[in-house]
Chains A and B, each alone.
Chain A
Amino acid sequence: MREQPCVLLLTHSQEPFCTERVAGALLRAGARPLRLDTDDFPLALALSGELDPAAGGRLLLDGEALTVDAVWLWRLWPPRLDAGLAAPHREAALRESMTALRGLLDLLDDAPWIDGIDANRCAENKARQLRLAQGLGLAIPPTLITADPAAARRFWGAHDGQVVAKLQTSLGYSMAGGGGLPTRMIGPADLEALGGLRHCPMMFQRYVPKAMELRIAWVDGRALVGGLDGARCGVDWRHESTASWEAHALPTAVHERLAALMRQLGLRQGAIDMIVTPSGDYVFLEVNPHGEWGMLERDLGLPIGEAIAQALLGLARAKLRERSER
């Protein structure tokens, strides 16, 4: 029986921090981390899949069958295609490469994932997150998702103009940043432009006064929490903050409700954003299944990579035992 668990880490070639933290913790625990930079496929990564009528499917890396005992899904990036590829071919190559990669990774369905691709896609639904959170007793901001200018205008009036707007997805992907839309406060002058909703809906929420902004790195039931002084944050702390991270402990009741939410979403990991109001209420905003946590580990020493590694190891060892008993 093979004794050293092998854990596959799905990431990308520019990922600067988190992957190595998890890999280091796995190594220290005696496991074998295998980093796979997904943007290397197909240009520089020799991945293949075989589907045999009798034996079933298997994933090959450099021509060898790849058996892993757990998979950590951190990032799946589109390929770095050859710069010389003509534009009409580039789009097809991009689409086909990502489709092929999705199929190849499906051949690892015998291994446990943190977290599976389909689970992530389902959990990224922000309306679903808010619906489930509210049902579990978590406070949420009044929210309107609409393409109807009149509805948005009514919502703005009903909340005395204390309304923010946000998109549910990014405007683009990159490590370069700057391509996102910060959550914005809606002023009276913006109302005249609401007709633009007919081109693209948006999410509107009542502005939540903040004593503290929280980012909660959730790992398999554990909450590793960083907070920012709300008085030193703008509407969107990701874009406007002079605060430094400080450690924070969640009330037990909030922790339990978040645990239930993550179970219902089918997630073992995620970055949860909450606001603590001046009156001490905890308001749930969203979960990003792959939200950044590197700054919390870097600045506060929170052992997030270690926690992820331990969660992966637990699953990997159980899978190894299962395979040895077959």
Chain B
Amino acid sequence: MSKKIMDPQSEGADLPFFAHLLTSQSDPAQSTNGGGAPTYHCLDSPCTKKYPSDDDESTTWFKDSDG
């Protein structure tokens, strides 16, 4: 029999916690004093952004296809 998570202090939360963090804190890269992350940009002109390809996990898109 599974045990359920009971947390009366936090019942009713509609947002996933990560979504709360996204909305409750400003993006440090967008702040005026954060300075972004210029050393981490991709290297071509259409790719001058803050968060390049670390998130391009090579197999992320190989989800199970039969599930």
* Bound Cα distance from A235 to B21, whole angstroms: 14
* Bound Cα distance from A198 to B12, whole angstroms: 10
Q: Which residues of A contact B40 (CB under 8 A)?
A: 237-238, 241, 292, 295
- Asked if A177 contacts B50 (CB within 8 A), the reply is yes
- Asked if B28 contacts A75 (CB within 8 A), the reply is no
Of the four ranges (under 10, 10 to 19, 20 to 34, 35 or more), the interface on chain B belongs to: 35 or more
Q: Least Cβ distance of A140 to chain B in Å?
A: 20
Interface 9-mer from A41-49, A168-176, A216-224, A277-285: A168-176
- Asked if A75 contacts B17 (CB within 8 A), the reply is no
Chain A residues bordering chain B, tally (CB within 8 A): 78
* Bound Cα distance from A170 to B59, whole angstroms: 12
Q: Which residues of A contact B57 (CB under 8 A)?
A: 120, 124, 169-170, 173, 288-290
Q: Which residues of A contact B61 (CB under 8 A)?
A: 76-78, 98, 173
Contacts A76-B59, A242-B35 given; does A17 touch B44 at CB 8 Å: yes
- Asked if A96 contacts B65 (CB within 8 A), the reply is yes
Chain B interface SS verdict (over half): loop
* Bound Cα distance from A102 to B44, whole angstroms: 29
- Asked if B42 contacts A237 (CB within 8 A), the reply is no
* Bound Cα distance from A180 to B57, whole angstroms: 13
* Bound Cα distance from A294 to B53, whole angstroms: 10
- Asked if A182 contacts B27 (CB within 8 A), the reply is yes
Q: Which residues of B contact A290 (CB under 8 A)?
A: 53-54, 56-58
- Asked if A195 contacts B7 (CB within 8 A), the reply is yes
- Asked if A177 contacts B43 (CB within 8 A), the reply is no
Q: Least Cβ distance of B15 to chain A in Å?
A: 5
- B positions within 8 Å CB-CB of A: 5, 7, 9-22, 24-25, 27-29, 31, 34-44, 46-47, 49-63, 65
- A positions within 8 Å CB-CB of B: 10, 12, 14-17, 73-78, 95-96, 98-99, 102, 117, 120-121, 124, 147-150, 153, 165, 167, 169-182, 184, 189-190, 192-200, 202, 228, 234-245, 271, 288-292, 294-295, 298-299
